[in-house]
Amino acid sequence: MNFEFTEEQLMIQQTARDFAEAEIAPTAIERDKEAKFPTEIVKKLGELGFMGMMVSPEYDGAGMDTVSYCLAMIEISKVDASVGVIMSVNNSLVCFGIEKWGSDYIKETYLKPLARGEKLGAFALSEPEAGSDATQQKTYAVKEGDYWVLNGIKNWTTNGQTADYYVVMAQTDPEKRHKGITAFLIEKGWEGFEHGAKEDKLGIRSSDTCSLMFTNVKVPEQNVIWEVGKGFNFAMNTLNGGRYGIASQALGIAEASLDASVKYSRQRKAFGTEIFNLQAIQFKLSDMAVKTEAAKLLTLQAASLKDAGKNYIKEASMAKLYASRVAVENALDAIQIHGGYGYVREYHVERFLRDAKITEIYEGTSEIQKLIIARELIR
Ligand code: CAA
């Protein structure tokens, strides 16, 4: 593995860092408090090419590699993980899967505006009774002439209210279990398609998460994304691609927790010295730094394998499993180092903890990552 970033990767990292600090950081606390979706920021991310980073220029994407995408995700999530997940879902769970497996029609019609950042995407797999056990899809579609008629409910959909286009998995042949699931592209506004109220979440509060309800929604045949019956395969492979995105989001939080702690420990004085000079604090900071670096290596390894066209399933799950754990641990340590100040909004680190927790849950819980890693060990 090459440990040196290219000029282009460094430039993308710097662009993301500058944008994050200038345009996202100043309003992060306010958006979190008010659970306010960052509409203008997402628009500007689109203009920067950050909403379709890995999509090829043929489909109006920025044509960047996965390592660049991870570096940008880290910088954005460092200041606001809510913005990170909005960007991650559009890039990894929507654009990536569509470009790789979508039909020409789907790519021409939907991928281009998604990659340009003019439209926003969402990915709907989870259901009230199908979370980790994702093969148990109750949402179903029945073929009627040139249409599929879709019925069911999806849960926990990131960008659920705000998206324009939705990737929706549904059962089309229940007897075949996961081999009878199909992926559809659904547009906002189609008759019978409604969304629920925005969930009142612990963290990533400015991203919007909600349920989706489908009642006899007529879906044109051409809106089947890949082949009929390949929807589960599509979802699993898309999620493999999403996991280094969430690992990067978690890494952003882990790095931000470390940076805030170093900064604070050099300002705060106790026992006649900056608290940075106390071993109790130094040991914490060192552990945080080592874990962050290890998580970064795992994440960039997964990204590099993908860029090299190699299998990265195990590595992406390892990266997500570990980086999400480090995000939570670093955020907790950051609060401890900040003492009482860490417990109030003004110092950001309490938000880092609330934002970090979800990275151990969505796009496959930590327990599911362990299951995937174990299965890959004997493959
Ligand atoms: N990559 C590719 N294919 C995979 C895979 C992976 N990581 N994991 C499983 N599969 C394939 C299997 O090969 C199998 O396909 P074949 O029959 O063609 O070989 C098929 O999926 C079913 O696998 P199993 O028989 O092993 O099924 P299982 O029920 O024992 O396990 C599971 C499946 C891995 C647990 C799967 O259900 C899973 O990944 N669950 C977690 C779902 C998840 O991540 N949900 C997050 C939703 S997105 C989200 O978070 C919302 C958001 O907006 C951010």
Residues 6+ apart with CB under 8 A from 22: none
What are 365-377's pLDDT values in tens digits?
A: 999 999 999 999 9
159, 178, 230: which to mutate for ligand 1, most atoms within 8 A of CB? 178
Looking at 75, 255, 360, 363, which residue is catalytic? 363
- Of all residues in the chain, the percent with pLDDT exceeding 90 is 97
How many angstroms separate the alpha carbon of residue 159 from the centre of ligand 1?
Answer: 22
CB 261 within 8 A of CB 285: yes
What is d(CA 239, CA 219) in angstroms, rounded to the nearest whole number?
A: 24
How many angstroms separate the alpha carbon of residue 123 from the centre of ligand 1?
Answer: 14
- In the prediction, which pLDDT does 65 show? 97
Does the pTM surpass 0.95? The reply is: yes
How many angstroms separate the alpha carbon of residue 151 from the centre of ligand 1?
Answer: 22
Query: Does residue 89's CB lie within 6 angstroms of at least one atom of ligand 1?
Result: yes
Query: Does residue 9's CB lie within 6 angstroms of at least one atom of ligand 1?
Result: no
Nearest-CA residue for atom 18 of ligand 1: 233
| 379 pLDDT tier (thresholds 50, 70, 90) | confident
Query: Does residue 372's CB lie within 6 angstroms of at least one atom of ligand 1?
Result: yes
**Domain range summary for the chain, segments of one domain joined by +:** 7-120, 122-231, 233-377
- In the prediction, which pLDDT does 1 show? 65
Q: Which residue has the tokens 């990894």?
A: 92
- Of all residues in the chain, the percent with pLDDT exceeding 70 is 100
If you compute the radius of gyration of the chain from its CA atoms, what whole number of angstroms results? 21
Query: Does residue 64's CB lie within 6 angstroms of at least one atom of ligand 1?
Result: no
Query: Does residue 364's CB lie within 6 angstroms of at least one atom of ligand 1?
Result: yes
SS3 sequence, the chain?
Answer: CCCCCCHHHHHHHHHHHHHHHHHHHHHHHHHHHHCCCCHHHHHHHHHCCCCCCCCCHHHCCCCCCHHHHHHHHHHHHHHCHHHHHHHHHHHHHHHHHHHHHCCHHHHHHHHHHHHHCCCCEEEECCECCECCCCCCCCCEEEEECCEEEEEEEEEEEECCCCCCEEEEEEECCHHHHHHHEEEEEEECCCCCEEECCCCCCCCCCCCCEEEEEEEEEEEEHHHECCCCCCHHHHHHHHHHHHHHHHHHHHHHHHHHHHHHHHHHHHHCEECCEEHHHCHHHHHHHHHHHHHHHHHHHHHHHHHHHHHCCCCCHHHHHHHHHHHHHHHHHHHHHHHHHHHHHHHCHHHCHHHHHHHHHHCCCCCCCHHHHHHHHHHHHCC
If you average pLDDT over every residue of the chain, what do you get?
A: 97
What are 5-14's pLDDT values in tens digits?
A: 999 999 999 9
CB 207 within 8 A of CB 255: no
Residues 6+ apart with CB under 8 A from 127: 136, 137, 138, 139, 152, 153, 154, 155
Q: Is 174 exposed, middle or buried (0-12, 13-18, 19+ CB in 10 A)?
A: exposed
269-270 and 273-274 strand pairing = antiparallel
Give the closest residue to 89 by CA, choosing from 313, 274, 359, 363: 363
| φ, ψ at 201 (rounded to 5°) | -95, 160
Domain 7-120 CATH (choose: 1.10.540.10, 1.10.300.10, 3.90.1150.10, 2.60.40.740): 1.10.540.10
CATH number, span 122-231? 2.40.110.10
Angle at 329 between CA 325 and CA 334, to 5 degrees: 145
Domain 233-377 has CATH 3.30.479.10: no
Read off the pLDDT of each residue in 58-82 and give the average, rounded to a whole number: 98
- In the prediction, which pLDDT does 242 show? 86
What are 151-163's pLDDT values in tens digits?
A: 999 999 999 999 9
Topology match between the domains 122-231 and 233-377? no
Q: Is 39 exposed, middle or buried (0-12, 13-18, 19+ CB in 10 A)?
A: exposed
Over the range 252-291, which residues count as b (16 or more CB within 10 Å of their CB) and which as e? bbbbbbbebbbebbeeeeeeeeebbeeeebeebbeebbeb
What is d(CA 261, CA 282) in angstroms, rounded to the nearest whole number?
A: 10
- Concerning whether 99 is annotated as a catalytic residue, the answer is no
- CA dist list (Å): 336 to 79, 249, 377: 20, 22, 37
**Tokens standing for residue 95:** 């654009």
Query: Does residue 209's CB lie within 6 angstroms of at least one atom of ligand 1?
Result: no
What are 97-131's pLDDT values in tens digits?
A: 999 999 999 999 999 999 999 999 999 999 999 99
Read off the pLDDT of each residue in 242-253 and give the average, rounded to a whole number: 96
Nearest-CA residue for atom 10 of ligand 1: 236
Return the ligand 1 atom nearest residue 88 CA.
Answer: 54
How many angstroms separate the alpha carbon of residue 109 from the centre of ligand 1?
Answer: 28
126, 201, 236: which to mutate for ligand 1, most atoms within 8 A of CB? 236
